[in-house]
Chain A
Amino acid sequence: MLNAYFGDYITVAVFMAVGALLVAGAIFASSLIAPRRPGGFKEVVYESGIEPIGGGWNQSHIRYYVFALLFLIFDVEAIFMFPWAIRLDFFAEAGLGITVLVEMIVFVVVLVLGLLYALAKGVLRWE
């Protein structure tokens, strides 16, 4: 039944909405009760007690984007493996057990080669 399937997700949505409302509500309620006297050095960002030097959005090293790319590869890989792992019994009954196993091993080996390539290129090094 449609309802039973979506029911689970509707519960999740309700859970999310209640959580967000509670947190936002508590922050709002606190802002009504708590004292509020802005101005002066309160609004200056904290830099260990000295007056901040330069802007807030300083440049950070671009090398971090490599991790985003690598993460994408390995996380998507894991997601490919989950449905495969669930259907293992199904394939075994169809007499394809060894075949799918070898196929997945080839898939993993290709990804290991990818990691080795990244290693050889030196993107996983820090100075």
Chain B
Amino acid sequence: MTGVLLAAVKVAVAFGFLMGTVIVLVWAERRIVAFMQNRHGPNRAGPAGILQTAADGLKLFFKESMTPRKAEFALYIAAPVLAVVPALLVFAVIPVGAPITIGGVTYTLQVTDLDVGVLYVLAVSSLGVYAVTLAGWSSGSKYPLLGSVRAAAQMISYEAALGLALVPVIMFTGTTSLAEIVEAQGGTFGGGLPAWNLVLVPSFVIFLIAGFAETNRAPFDLVEAEQEIVGGYHTEYSGMRFAFFFLAEYINVFNMAALTTVFFLGGWHGPRFGPPAVEMALPVVWFLAKTWAIVFLFIWVRATLPRVRYDQLMAFGWKRLIPVSLVWIFLSMVAIGVRRFGLPWA
């Protein structure tokens, strides 16, 4: 019974955490991009404009949701739900902090730890393609259809690279559970550098680039290239239905940054000191600091790089990223083999 109660509390906390994160994230992106472009950004609602996203959300809630005459209504209305649910599900396996002990009972700071965590993440995040495809097709409009076909091709192209980038990580740590991958990154290499998977630099770079493409962020935001295909797959959505596509997009950005932290930046590992309460809270602080650093990188890249052309996008994915990740898998196999079994001629 306590198990059910605990699961319920975790689910509730996770939802609250994600909603709060998105509210801050959207505001942070608008403010940071604004400062990089020498303007102010939203600064009226609440202190420094931090309530702007909440205000926008409320406004969308009271707006009329229009439906195009030719839309396939059942699929049209299902698409926003299908967009948000996979985004939420990915977050369910991310460990946001070290296990904490209160009154002799240890709680993990993760909704649930699956043994096949990495496979689960890859599988669930692919489901997002359905939302995009169905939204574009069911709208019964030209530009959303074009946008969704583009999005589907882009997302599956870069997902292959995303999966391949994780093979060396799993070889290195010997587990697919996200909690154990973080656990394996504790300590240091010979007392100097922290033992993060960041030593697998090519994997990190491939994962990050594929992550930009997976979340449809600049410079790979062709899915919603305003100059070519209006708003992309969600052109015909308005009101609350549009708000959920927006929500899913930003949850995905946060998830991708959190996954980068878990796989490569040592998750919640970091110096721990101070009285027990502070010592217990520090891992969460480290995790959030690393994740937000990656989020900042996402925003920085968006403000800096121009959008790539479609043929460049596909050529980069298939002719650069995937061959490079295959070569890197080969090299890391040899390196890990030598490290474990010694030189073949020795």
Residues on A lying within 8 angstroms of B by beta carbon are: 7-12, 14-16, 18-20, 22-24, 26-27, 29-31, 33-38, 42-48, 52, 54-58, 60, 64, 67-68, 70-71, 74-75, 77-79, 81-82, 85-86, 88-89, 92, 97-98, 101, 104-105, 108-109, 111-112, 115, 119, 124, 126
Contacts and interface: CB of A to CB of B under 8 A. Distances in A.
A74 B12 CA distance: 37
A86 B170 contact: yes
A41 to B, nearest CB: 10
Contacts of B171: 85, 88
Contact of A52 (B142, B159, B160): B142
A40 to B, nearest CB: 10
B156 A68 contact: yes
Nearest to B149: A60
Contacts of A79: 119, 163
Contacts of A105: 330, 333-334
Contacts of B118: 82
Interface in B293-339: 310-311, 314-315, 318-319, 322-323, 326, 329-330, 333-334, 336-337
Interface string B134-151: 000101111101100100
Interface of B is mostly: helix
Given A56-B70, A82-B118, A88-B340, A64 B149 contact: yes
A9 B344 contact: no
Given A12-B112, A108-B330, 4 more contacts: A43-B66, A60-B149, A86-B175, A88-B171
